[in-house]
Structures are given as structure tokens and as C-alpha cells.
Amino acid sequence: MKYALLVYSLPGSHEELPESERNAVYGEYMALGGDPRCTESAQLQPTETATAIRVKDGQRLITDGPFAETKEVFGGYYVFDVANLDEAIAVAERVPAARLGGSVEVRPLVEAPS
């Protein structure tokens, strides 16, 4: 089963780490992406680079910033192909954001019938 692991971080939580610890943490993110069960992953640039688009009454509305201001910020995702939810959870709890004040949302993908 394929699961999306949506990584939400507490702003500043990674940046405020001492350099050596920060590098180790980034290494962990990369290692997870290199896991053979990981089919894809991406890190998003910070929310300052975000643009929100809505279409209302046929009108296109473009605004600066993410679609919603939240305490935790969506920063990236992994897709893991594992046997069940417990295996997906075992991966998710190793995502550094989870222990640095953020959270990881684990949700199964809608898979096309084979």
C-alpha cells in the first residue's frame, strides 16, 4: 500500500539547531528519501516562496503566501510503499520534524485499480 507522509514543521525548529545537529538531521531526511520503499519525495521551499491561487466566480485570485497561515508549516512529503499502516507509522516516527515540535500526517494514496 502506498502512503503519503506529509511533513509539517514548527517554523524555526530546524534552523535553531546547532550546525552539527542540523546537518545530522538533514542527513536523516535524505536517508529516508533513499529508503528502497520510498517511491518519491520532495522538499518544498519555505512558505515565503509560496503563492496561493483560487478561482472564484470565474475570477482568478492570486495571493502571496501559503493557502492558510498555520502554526505548523507543510514542508515536504514522502511516498512509501509498505505492507500496512503500522509500517508507515514506523517510518513516519523517524522523520525529524515529528520530534522537533512538528508532525507527520500519514495518509494512504488513492490507487488506480489494477
Partner 1 sequence: MAWLIATARNCALDRLRRRRTLAAKLPLLEEQRVEMIELDDSAFPDERLELLFTCCHPALATEAQVALTLRAVGGLSTEEIAEAFIVSEETMKRRLSRARVKIRQAGIPFEVPAAENLPDRLSAVLAVVYLIYNEGYAGRVDLATEALRIGRLLESLMPDEAEVHALLALMLIQNSRSGARYAGGELVLLAEQDRSSWNAGELREGREELGRAVALMGGNVEGVYLLQASIAAIQAEQPIDWGRIAHLYSELLALTGSPVVALNRAVAFAEAGEPAKALELVERLPLEGYRYLHSTRAELLRRLQRTDEAADAYRAALSLASSDPERRFLQRRLSEI
- In the complex, the residues that contact partner 1 under the rule CB under 8 A are 1, 3, 83-86, 88-89, 107-108
Nearer to partner 1, 3 or 8 (CB): 3
Gap between the Cα atoms of 42 and 70, Å rounded: 20
How far apart are the C-alpha atoms of 23 and 29, rounded to whole Å? 10
Q: Which is nearer to partner 1, 31 or 90 (CB)?
A: 90
The amino acid at residue 3 is: Y
Kindly state the cell numbers that stand for 85.
499502516
How many Å apart are CA 106 and CA 98, to the nearest integer?
Answer: 12
For residue 93, how many C-alpha atoms fall within 13 Å in the half-sphere facing its CB? Answer: 5
Closest contact distance (angstroms) between CB of 56 and partner 1 is 32
CB of 87 to partner 1, least distance (A): 8
Nearer to partner 1, 5 or 88 (CB): 88
Nearest distance from C-beta of residue 85 to partner 1, angstroms: 5
- Residue closer to partner 1, measured from CB, 88 or 91: 88
